[in-house]
Amino acid sequence: MTDSITVPVLDLKAQYQTIKPEIERAVAEVLESQYFIMGPTLKALEDEIAEYCHTKYAVGCASGTDAILLALMALGIGAGDEVICPSYTFFATAGCIHRLGAIPVFADIDPVTYNMDLKSVHKAAKRCKKLKAIMPVHLFGQAVDMTEYLELREDLCVPVIEDAAQAIGTLDKDGERAGSRSSIGCFSFYPSKNLGAYGDGGICTTSDETFAERLSILRVHGSKPKYYHSIVGLNSRLDALQAAILRVKLKYLDQWTQGRQSNAARYDQLFSDAGAKDSSSPLSDGGFPLRTPATPDAPARHIYNQYVIRVPEDIRDGLRDELKNKNVGTEIYYPLPLHEQKCFAYLGYSPGDLPQSEQAARQTLALPVYPELTEEQIQHVANTVVSFVNAQAAVKV
């Protein structure tokens, strides 16, 4: 019976059905206005995002990638400068550093949270000759400890930029919003994000007026006033149609996040009933060979942009195939850490240099966690995972 259940990794159509009339109205208003680039709808969204993220300013742009690029440019990062970032993240984090002629310096992750490990950042900083910034990533929707990063900023005298692409509404361990405590926070509105546009989009948050001004000039070719360029920027704007759609969706964001959190809690329960522990206990501790994401204590808030489990590497791909056979979509974030990517071979890293990143890349699997999942779908996913892991464990005995 359960074989007839289908669980895509993400179901955007299900969400769209719940807000369709509002979206259609918002889109129609933009079409009537024929005001597509910059303008009042974008400004309204920027004000709402700044308020939501507890910053003074927000500056929309064309993607999360461009948000990072613009942030680095606003800080004056350029050729030969070094920026520390994690290796276990989406490519854009380091790709943007490279595109500016700067050098990504990779740090390893903490195996419990999958976020950049501060000890590894210290080590990386010691290797640097021209360190200009540190860019932690709030991976999967869980925050790094920002207080520690801000202390590090004082020690090393370099700014911090947050790659908060996956973390809108995330709270850190002090209860503060992702993107609110560093020089600039960078968010993505890629459709799979908790707040996703109907196309590409991104935004930078900051409470520094100078950075806000620089970001808004940089996104329009560095022009101010129009057609006068004291710096060279990009064409990177968030268009009014996307802004109008995002304004509708923002009203539902907290409700959707709660849906993700309760789905994550349900998986946690079902896996724990089968004997799984959370990721604070390494797989080498034994027991049922599955680790759920460790949930941070309040006031921290994990927004579960992804729900990522860990299993032994010799069964991970088989588990993924089995889930596919049972009509369950999954994703591997990320199969190859950035320090092992061909395009970064010139940086001279070798396998084994960042062992936690390498191990996570071999052991993790993201399960569907979108808010519209039904109890039946969650049980189907969890049952398929537990049966497969049990069967594999039995073969080994």
Ligand X SMILES: Cc1ncc(COP(=O)(O)O)c(C=O)c1O
Straight-line distance from the first to the last Cα atom of the chain, in angstroms, rounded to the nearest whole number: 30
Q: Which is closer to ligand X, CB of 93 or CB of 359?
A: 93
Q: Position 332: which residue type?
A: I
Please tell me the count of residues contacting ligand X according to CB under 6 A. 15
b/e 292-309 (16+ beta carbons within 10 angstroms → b): bbbbbeeebbbbbbbbbb
Binding piece for ligand X, criterion CB under 6 A, among 18-26, 86-94, 99-107, 372-380 = 86-94
Spatial CA neighbour of 312 closest among 333, 287, 280: 287
Q: At what angle do helices 355-363 and 313-325 cross, to 10 degrees?
A: 30
**CB of 369 vs ligand X, minimal distance in Å:** 15
C-alpha span between 355 and 188 (Å, rounded): 28
Does the footprint of ligand X cover residue 169 (CB under 6 A)?
no
Q: Which is closer to ligand X, CB of 93 or CB of 216?
A: 93
Q: Which is closer to ligand X, CB of 7 or CB of 135?
A: 135
Q: Which is closer to ligand X, CB of 11 or CB of 163?
A: 163
C-alpha span between 177 and 162 (Å, rounded): 11
Contacts of 295 (CB under 8 A, 6+ apart): 264, 265, 268, 278, 302
Of the residues 52, 88, 149, 190, which one makes contact with ligand X according to CB under 6 A: 190
Q: Which of residues 148-167 bind ligand X (CB under 6 A)?
A: 163, 165-166
CB atoms within 10 A of CB 2: 12
b/e 145-166 (16+ beta carbons within 10 angstroms → b): bbeebeebbeebebbbbbbbbb
**CB of 62 vs ligand X, minimal distance in Å:** 8
**CB of 64 vs ligand X, minimal distance in Å:** 2
Q: Which is closer to ligand X, CB of 192 or CB of 272?
A: 192
Binding piece for ligand X, criterion CB under 6 A, among 87-95, 257-265, 295-303, 337-345 = 87-95
CA 334, 340, 234: angle at the middle one, nearest 5?
Answer: 75
Burial of residue 101 (number of CB atoms within 10 Å: 0-12, 13-18, 19+): exposed
**CB of 95 vs ligand X, minimal distance in Å:** 9
* Alpha carbon distances (Å) from 228 to 212, 219, 331: 19, 14, 46
C-alpha span between 147 and 120 (Å, rounded): 17
**CB of 230 vs ligand X, minimal distance in Å:** 27
Does the footprint of ligand X cover residue 115 (CB under 6 A)?
no
Binding piece for ligand X, criterion CB under 6 A, among 8-16, 58-66, 105-113, 252-260 = 58-66
C-alpha span between 378 and 319 (Å, rounded): 16
**CB of 103 vs ligand X, minimal distance in Å:** 18
**CB of 139 vs ligand X, minimal distance in Å:** 7
Does the footprint of ligand X cover residue 306 (CB under 6 A)?
no
DSSP 175: S
Q: Which is closer to ligand X, CB of 188 or CB of 279?
A: 188
Q: Which is closer to ligand X, CB of 140 or CB of 271?
A: 140
Does the footprint of ligand X cover residue 137 (CB under 6 A)?
yes
Does the footprint of ligand X cover residue 90 (CB under 6 A)?
yes
DSSP 116: B
DSSP 137: B
Does the footprint of ligand X cover residue 89 (CB under 6 A)?
yes
Contact 9, 324 (CB under 8 A): no
Q: Which is closer to ligand X, CB of 196 or CB of 289?
A: 196
**CB of 171 vs ligand X, minimal distance in Å:** 18
Does the footprint of ligand X cover residue 64 (CB under 6 A)?
yes
Of the residues 92, 135, 204, 217, which one makes contact with ligand X according to CB under 6 A: 92
Q: Which of residues 201-260 bind ligand X (CB under 6 A)?
A: 202
Of the residues 41, 120, 182, 188, which one makes contact with ligand X according to CB under 6 A: 188
Does the footprint of ligand X cover residue 136 (CB under 6 A)?
no
Footprint on this chain of ligand X (rule: CB under 6 A)? 63-65, 89-90, 92-93, 137, 163, 165-166, 188, 190, 200, 202
